[in-house]
């Protein structure tokens, strides 16, 4: 008897696709849309209250200016989602989630309601960097109809689709945010997990930063290393050289090679909760929608955990 489990992907068009999965059969909203699909939606004038496009680009200070690049060119109809505004600005850590009220108010001003299909993209040269974080933010606040533009702005341009410098002024909408705590982990919960070992942990940073042989970029007081028991799967490995997400079959093989069991609970972590969302997206594409992200990640763990709970080969700048 064939007992392989399957899941149902619900595409934005309403089309249903079957694919292998590691969880019980369920309906999942399509996490990726193609440039072709979005371009056709633009031509059909579907962008509006039911479909919003957000440029969610973010770059390290002094490297690139995401907001200026948006002003110069963006996908027609897209609004700029500013992570510097849509975060907990009082937190001592780098990219912590805002409150439900703050998130609802912010995305509402971008024309997003609870009935809106949101497509997010970013302009990173990799094809995707911040997009999965924005995708996860919508999901953690209870919004399931959100997709990442597969290949990002990089491939939108390469495929010759239109761009504009014309500002977008969407009509404000009402959005109600409801925090899904199952998709979020705190420092205290991570501490408890070291004892219970209920959740597997995967760190999405580069191997050098994970091991502690490579410095954390743009930070003088944050040493590299990882949480005890966490495995390393650099987020870039989930992307093709062209900047697209790898296939579910390839991703499943990657998890299997690292001995990550997608039928069991999983936490994703990184430095500040951004690239960890690539782990959540990759698992989702394999039919696992319940990966939790440690929002504070290494940025918080390094500053709060006792030294014996920090694994690192760091030698004070001499790896």
Please report the pLDDT score of residue 39 as a whole number.
98
Q: What is the dihedral of CA 249, 254, 256, 261, to 10 degrees?
A: -90
pLDDT tens digits, residue range 269-300?
999 999 999 999 999 999 999 999 999 999 99
pLDDT score recorded for residue 273: 96
**How far apart are alpha carbons 307 and 202 in whole angstroms?**
20
Round to whole Å and give the CA distance between 178 and 140: 8
List 11, 86, 270, 277, catalytic entry: 270
What average pLDDT does range 97-122 have in this prediction? 98
C-beta of residue 184 within 8 angstroms of C-beta of residue 277: no
What are the residues whose beta carbons fall under 8 Å from the beta carbon of 244, sequence distance 6 or more?
127, 150, 151, 155
**3-class state of residue 165 by DSSP:** coil
pLDDT band at 63 (very low <50, low <70, confident <90, very high): confident
Q: What does the alpha-carbon distance between residue 318 and residue 301 come to, in Å, rounded to a whole number? A: 22
Predicted confidence band of residue 27 (pLDDT cuts 50, 70, 90): low
- C-alpha to C-alpha distances, 152 to 87, 175, 185, 210, 275, nearest whole angstrom: 22, 25, 28, 26, 15
Share of the chain above pLDDT 70, in %: 90
Mean pLDDT value across the chain: 91
- At 187 the pLDDT is 98
The total number of residues shown for the chain amounts to 319
Span 77-87, pLDDT tens digits: 999 999 989 99
- Percent of the chain at pLDDT exceeding 90: 83
The number of helices, as runs of H, and strands, as runs of E, in the chain is 10, 13
Active site residue 277: no
> Is a pLDDT exceeding 60 seen at residue 24?
no
- Strands (DSSP E) contained in the chain are 6-10, 16-20, 27-29, 32-33, 51-55, 78-80, 117-121, 146-149, 184-185, 200-203, 231-232, 266-269, 292-294
- Tell me what pLDDT residue 3 has: 39
Question: Over the stretch 215-268, which tens digit does the pLDDT of each residue have?
Answer: 999 888 899 999 999 999 999 999 999 999 999 999 999 999 999 999 999 999
Taking the whole predicted model, whether its pTM rises above 0.95 is answered as no
Rounded Cα distance, 267 and 128, in Å? 21
Model confidence at 17, in pLDDT bands (50, 70, 90)? very low
Where does the pLDDT of residue 60 fall: very low under 50, low under 70, confident under 90, or very high at 90 and above?
Answer: confident
- What 3-state DSSP class applies to 15? coil
The separation between the first and the last C-alpha atoms of the chain, rounded to the nearest angstrom, is: 53
Calculate mean pLDDT across residues 147-161: 98
- pLDDT for residue 169: 93
Sequence-ordered alpha helix ranges (H) in 186-296: 187-196, 207-211, 248-257, 276-285
In our burial notation (b when 16+ CB lie closer than 10 A, e otherwise), range 11-36 reads ebeeeeeeeebbbeeeebbbbbbbbe
Domain at 182-309: CATH architecture: 3-Layer(aba) Sandwich (3.40)
For tokens 């919003």, what's the residue? 52
Give the confidence band of 23 by pLDDT, cuts at 50, 70, 90: very low
Average pLDDT value for residue range 126-131: 97
- Helix residue spans in 14-151 (DSSP H): 35-43, 66-72, 100-109, 131-140
Instruction: Indicate the burial class of 234 (C-beta count within 10 angstroms; 0-12, 13-18, 19 or more).
Output: middle
In the CATH hierarchy, which fold is given to the domain comprising 27-179? Oxidized Rhodanese; domain 1 (3.40.250)
CA atoms within 13 A on the CB side of 199: 25
Strands 231-232 and 78-80: what pairing? unpaired
- Residue intervals of the chain classified under CATH 3.40.250.10 are 27-179, 182-309
**The pLDDT value given to residue 49:** 95
């Amino acid at each position: 008897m064939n007992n392989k489990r399957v899941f149902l992907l619900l595409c934005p068009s309403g089309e249903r696709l079957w694919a292998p999965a590691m969880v019980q059969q369920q309906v999942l909203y399509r996490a990726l849309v193609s440039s072709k699909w979005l371009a056709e939606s633009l031509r059909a004038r579907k962008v509006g209250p039911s479909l919003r496009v957000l440029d969610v680009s973010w770059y390290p200070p002094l490297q690139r200016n995401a907001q200026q690049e948006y002003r110069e060119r963006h996908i027609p109809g897209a609004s700029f989602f500013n992570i510097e505004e849509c975060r907990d600005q009082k937190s001592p850590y780098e990219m912590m989630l805002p409150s439900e009220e703050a998130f609802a108010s912010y995305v509402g001003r971008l024309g997003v309601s609870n009935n809106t299909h949101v497509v997010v993209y970013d302009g990173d040269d990799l094809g995707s960097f911040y997009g999965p974080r924005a995708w996860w933010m919508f999901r953690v606040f209870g919004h399931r109809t959100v997709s990442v533009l597969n290949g990002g702005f990089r491939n939108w341009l390469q495929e010759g689709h239109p761009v504009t410098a014309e500002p977008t002024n969407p009509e404000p909408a009402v959005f109600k945010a409801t925090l899904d705590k199952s998709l979020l982990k705190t420092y205290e919960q991570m501490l408890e997990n070291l004892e219970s070992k209920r959740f597997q942990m995967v760190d999405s940073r580069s191997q050098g930063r994970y091991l502690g042989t490579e410095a954390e970029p743009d930070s003088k007081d944050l040493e590299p290393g990882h949480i005890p028991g966490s495995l390393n799967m650099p987020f870039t490995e989930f992307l093709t050289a062209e900047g697209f997400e790898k296939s579910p079959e390839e991703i499943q093989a990657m998890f299997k090679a690292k001995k990550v069991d997608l039928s069991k609970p999983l936490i994703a972590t990184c430095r500040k909760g951004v690239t960890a969302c690539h782990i959540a997206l990759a698992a989702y594409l394999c039919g696992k929608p319940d990966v939790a992200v440690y929002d504070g990640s290494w940025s918080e763990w390094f500053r709060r955990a006792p030294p014996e709970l920090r694994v690192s080969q760091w030698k004070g700048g001499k790896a």
